[in-house]
Amino acid sequence: MSVILSTDSIVPRERMEYWSSIVGRVFVPSDIAATPETPFSGTITTDRLGYLQIATVDAVAQRVRRTSRLIAEAEEEYLLVGLQARGTAVLTQDGRTAPLRPGEFALYDVSRPYTLDFPGHHQQLIFRLPRRMLGLPETDLRRITCTAIGSGQGLASVAVPFLSKLATDAETYGPEVGEMLARNVVDLLATVITERLGQDPAATDAGHQTLLLRIRAFINDHLADPALSPEVIAAAHHISVRYLHSLFHGEGTTVSRWILHRRLEECRRELGRPRRSRPAVAAVAHRGGFSSPAHFSRAFRAAYGMSPREWQYLVDHS
């Protein structure tokens, strides 16, 4: 069932405070400023399909900023996909700027600062998903954030109408169908990103590619489990261990290497948090699924040429 949150019933002088609070609840806490000469008004209609949050935002001109201070206070593990339906927007993140017109969308990562400028009345469809679900390397995510993707660009011609209809019809789907549609959204977005980054998704059988994406998402969701193994992964996806190894062999790696790679990436990101919210090295090793801090330190040094504490020092003084 859709939830509608609107400023219409709020007295004008309290609308911005109310709007900031609902944006924080539906998406992530943000600093919001509006044009003082224009009476503020806005409505958010939100639905949920499995782990996917879908919201339609209809509002007047404003600037939305996700700051380092807000990230440090409550770091979130989400990606947002903003699809412009009416009006225009300008997204800034990772040193890039992406103007968005109707029919264009862009990804932004709430774990890093960003700014969204809406110069006038607008409607945007926003999809919030756990960042781990895409199953893509951190380097690929950083390459694709704040990049305008339009319906006239390859597989985005399929993604844009699909996402638009999903936002319109979200409340009509039951829980089981909702879970399936959430997975479909993630698979489609991952394929569009792969195409956009210059990797030809047609080079791999579509069924194999979809299965591989789901396996990567499963790995990301179970990184903290020290018992995660090819046998466990194969059983969870009803395939043989041999077939699992063949999928990763086609990607130029092995299952074990991929698990280690993802664990180290997540641990390195955790260690790079601001000091106030940074966990201890031993806690990071435990959450990363390593058998001991010593095992974690050896693997980290082998991958990055320095110890975890040396990496923290580098982050703090860069």
Position of tokens 């998406």? 27
Residue range 188-213: mean pLDDT, rounded: 70
Spell out the residues 6+ positions from residue 100 whose beta carbon is closer than 8 angstroms to its own.
82, 84, 88, 89, 90, 91, 106, 148
Residues 207 and 243: beta-carbon distance below 8 Å: no
164 and 37 fall within a common domain: yes
Last residue of a domain, one of 177, 202, 227: 202
51 and 197 fall within a common domain: yes
Residue range 104-120: mean pLDDT, rounded: 95
Last residue of a domain, one of 202, 226, 244: 202
Reported as half-sphere exposure (CB side, CA atoms, 13 A), residue 4 has a value of 7
Return d(Cα 86, Cα 122) in angstroms, integer. 5
Residues 89 and 118: beta-carbon distance below 8 Å: yes
Position of tokens 């404003």? 62
Residues 29 and 113: beta-carbon distance below 8 Å: no
Spell out the residues 6+ positions from residue 201 whose beta carbon is closer than 8 angstroms to its own.
155, 191, 194, 195, 209
Query: Is residue 86 pLDDT above 90, yes or no?
Result: yes
Higher pLDDT, 74 or 267: 267
The number of distinct structural domains making up the chain is 2
| pLDDT 10s digits, 152-170 | 777 888 889 999 999 999 9
Supply the pLDDT for residue 204.
46
Spell out the residues 6+ positions from residue 25 whose beta carbon is closer than 8 angstroms to its own.
none
Supply the pLDDT for residue 53.
95
| pLDDT 10s digits, 248-281 | 887 788 999 999 988 998 888 888 877 777 788 8
The one-letter amino acid code at 94 reads: D
Supply the pLDDT for residue 212.
81
Looking at residue 298, which CATH number applies to its domain? Answer: 1.10.10.60
Most confident range, picked from 73-77, 152-156, 195-199, 244-248: 244-248
Domain hosting residue 226, numbered range: 204-318
241 and 255 fall within a common domain: yes
Residues 20 and 32: beta-carbon distance below 8 Å: yes
Backbone angles phi, psi at 210, to 5 degrees: -60, -45
Please name the helix (run of DSSP H) or strand (run of DSSP E) that holds residue 99, with its range, or none: strand 96-100
Cβ atoms within 10 A of the Cβ of 17, count?
10
Strand partners for 130:
78
pTM value is: 0.68
Last residue of a domain, one of 148, 168, 202: 202
The closest of 103, 100, 104 to 120, measured between CA atoms, is 100
| pLDDT 10s digits, 7-30 | 999 999 999 999 999 999 999 999
